[in-house]
Amino acid sequence: MNRPIHLENGNILIDPTETSCSRTLTIADGVIVSVDCEAPKDALLIDLDGRFALPGLVDSHLHLVQGASGMGEIDCSVAQSRQQFFDLYINASMQAKHNDWLVGFGWDEEQLGNTPDSSWLPSNDTVPMLAYRIDYHCAVVNETALAMLPLDEIEIMNGGKNIRNGIVREDALYEGVCPHLPIASNETKRKRVLQAITAMQSNGITLIGTMEDIVDIENVLSPISLTAQMRIAAILLDAPEEKIFGQSRAFDTDLLHIFGFKAFLDGTLGSRTARMYLPWEDAKGTGLWAGIAQKGMLDTWIRDVVDAGFAPVMHAIGDAAVGKALKALEGLDGTPSRIEHAQFIADKDLPFIHGQMFGVQPLHQPGDAAIADSAVGPIRAKQLHDWRRMLQQGARLSFGSDWPIAKADPLAAMQAAVLHGLTVQESMYASTVEGARSLGSTKSGFLTKGSFGDVAILDTNPFECDWQNTRPSVTMTILAGNIVYTKD
């Protein structure tokens, strides 16, 4: 057993539903054992010197293994033009020591001036190339890749109609193209996951909700010595089947457990594949239904997941997709569930959001706001990411980053939320208490006696910080009573 840790001389926020602070906190055997008490004789003393401490932060929606391993080596977000985009791939192909796929990520048509197609990428007969859009819901491939892919099959898939131009979206991307990409070894994945976790610890995160395939839980996350690294609640991308349920139940510890299953109901705003009630202003149609929703299987899917004791988690960005998710959850009173993103909510669906948990991503707001007027017009643009309106209607908010799409930095997310109209306390609540509850955890999110000994220590009191111009930064992170990060 580790020595107890005793934090003293600080402003320690024990319960984020309040703003009053305690002076001291003791952690032993991984949990909080006392608040405002004397230090045990053998304890490691940490003098906070007036600094602010709060429950370890939660990032309730990210893609740990996928983001750390397979989503590409070429950073296309630096390209500002067609020529720069092309040059990134030319340079990478000159340096490549193999003829394997070259995969990049992070382009954005706003920044590039246009949506790339296969002609934007080099074609040299040997190296297939792919570039994911920043939201990973769309990709462009080169001519060499097109020559290798089963285009007839992909073309009739949902999101596949532009494949012959090299553009592929949604199901056609994930079911038609991705199976042809090389897979990183488990060892490589583990190494990169640990690097990613280290960065998250430095941002005060002690609990993540991550979207994973069960094979990666078994082969990548579980074998890592997760002790004193990160608490992980996984949401599975696998189809909910008896075999997967059995495998899932094998992971049920304080550090790694399976919380739910995820289904995609639609696409994204950036790709204009989010499903809206009314047409896009600057693109044809109303977006796409994806996966389970497109197949008309949503109700069955929810029943299977809930009956097996897991939470249904639904990706729904467009207002029609959110409406469908809300309808599908009717009658599930008390069963944990989440709706992810919920970027647009129509007025007619507002009466149904009371008490519903939404996983939202404050760091997506500035980029989405920049395109909203042209994509949906001024009236619907006002509804985009309107968290104040959601709280007023009794919705519950849990903050996440969707890393690697945005940085896994809860304090940056809180700042984005504060700048977009939430209070500091509401933002903190969504990053602690509600983040934890949205992952089925009752022992994270608080520092009350019996809670997990997970603490983030900040350089500035967030209630006294000028968030318009700055934000606090993390100086120490403690997980289960172990110091996993210090600034110096």
Give the integer Cα–Cα distance in Å for 170 and 190. Answer: 27
- Name, in order, each residue with C-beta under 8 angstroms of 55's C-beta and a sequence gap of 6 or more: 13, 16, 432, 433, 436, 444, 445, 446, 447, 451, 454, 455, 456
Of 348-356, 369-377, 379-387, 397-405: span binding Zn ion (CB under 5 A): 397-405
Is the Cβ of residue 339 or residue 457 nearer to Zn ion in the bound state?
339
Residues 6+ apart with CB under 8 A from 130: 72, 101, 102, 103, 104, 139, 140, 141, 142, 145, 177, 181
d(CA 410, CA 425): 13
169-208 positions binding Zn ion, by CB under 5 A = none
From the CB of 222, what's the least distance to Zn ion, in Å? 21
Binding part of the chain for Zn ion, among 41-49, 101-109, 400-408, 421-429 by CB under 5 A, reads 400-408
DSSP state of 121: S
Least Å distance between CB 212 and Zn ion? Answer: 11
CA distance 333 to 347: 22
Phi then psi for residue 106, to 5 deg, are 100, 5
Instruction: Choose the binding region for Zn ion from 182-190, 256-264, 398-406, 447-455 (rule: CB under 5 A).
Output: 398-406
Closest CA to 259 of 237, 242, 292, 236: 236
Region of 85-93, 192-200, 372-380, 396-404 interacting with Zn ion (CB under 5 A): 396-404
The Cα 418–Cα 426 span in angstroms is 9
Q: In angstroms, rounded to a whole number, what is the distance separating the alpha carbons of residues 190 and 184? A: 10
Pick between residue 368 and residue 402 the one whose CB is nearest to Zn ion.
Answer: 402
Q: End-to-end CA distance of the chain, in Å?
A: 26
Asked if 434 is part of the footprint of Zn ion (rule: CB under 5 A), the reply reads no
Q: Any contact of residue 135 with Zn ion (CB under 5 A)?
A: no
The pair of three-digit structure tokens given for residue 131, joined into one six-digit string:
């570039």
The least CB distance from residue 86 to Zn ion, in Å, is: 29
**Which residue, 136 or 387, has its beta carbon nearer to Zn ion?**
136
At closest approach, how far in Å is the CB of 454 from Zn ion?
A: 23
Query: Judged by CB under 5 A, how many residues of this single chain contact Zn ion?
Result: 1
- Cβ-in-10-Å burial (0-12, 13-18, 19+) of 95 comes to exposed
DSSP letter at 192 equals: H
Residue 292's nearest CA partner among 266, 318, 327 is 266
From the list 75-83, 242-250, 395-403, 430-438, the region that binds Zn ion by CB under 5 A is 395-403
Q: Taking CB under 5 A as the rule, does residue 402 contact Zn ion?
A: yes
With H, G, I as helix, E, B as strand and everything else as coil, classify residue 165.
Answer: helix
Residue 121 contacts by C-beta under 8 Å, 6 or more apart in sequence?
85, 86, 89, 129, 131, 140, 141, 142, 143, 166
- Minimal distance in Å, beta carbon 400 to Zn ion? 8
Q: Which stretch binds Zn ion (CB under 5 A): 176-184, 213-221, 306-314, 394-402?
A: 394-402
Residue closer to Zn ion by CB (options 209, 453) is 209
**Mask: binding to Zn ion, 25-44, rule CB under 5 A, as x and -?**
--------------------
Q: For residues 67 and 80, give the distance between their C-alpha atoms in angstroms, rounded to a whole number.
A: 23
Closest approach, Cβ 341 to Zn ion, in A, equals 8
Name the segment binding Zn ion (CB under 5 A); options: 36-44, 194-202, 252-260, 402-410.
402-410
CB of 152 to Zn ion, least distance (A): 30
Q: Which is nearer to Zn ion, 402 or 409 (CB)?
A: 402
Q: Which stretch binds Zn ion (CB under 5 A): 381-389, 401-409, 412-420, 462-470?
A: 401-409
Of the pair 232, 447, the CB lying nearest Zn ion is at 232
The torsion angles phi and psi of 31, rounded to 5 degrees, stand at -125, 165
φ, ψ of residue 128 to 5 degrees: the values are -70, 145
State in angstroms the smallest separation of the CB of 315 from Zn ion: 7
Residue closer to Zn ion, measured from CB, 133 or 443? 133
The minimum distance between CB 307 and Zn ion, in angstroms, equals 25
Q: For residue 428, give every residue at least 6 positions away whose Cβ sits within 8 Å of its Cβ, in sequence order, or none.
A: 13, 16, 54, 414, 462
Shortest reach from residue 143's CB to Zn ion, in Å? 30
- Closest distance to Zn ion from the beta carbon of 197 (Å): 18
Nearer to Zn ion among residue 230 and residue 458 (C-beta): 230
Q: Supply the minimum distance, in Å, between the C-beta of residue 193 and Zn ion.
A: 16
Of the pair 266, 454, the CB lying nearest Zn ion is at 266
Nearer to Zn ion, 10 or 67 (CB): 67
Q: Which is nearer to Zn ion, 48 or 360 (CB)?
A: 360
> Is the Cβ of residue 349 or residue 402 nearer to Zn ion in the bound state?
402
- Residues 270 and 251: their CA atoms lie apart, in Å, by 35
Residues in the site for Zn ion, rule: CB under 5 A? 402
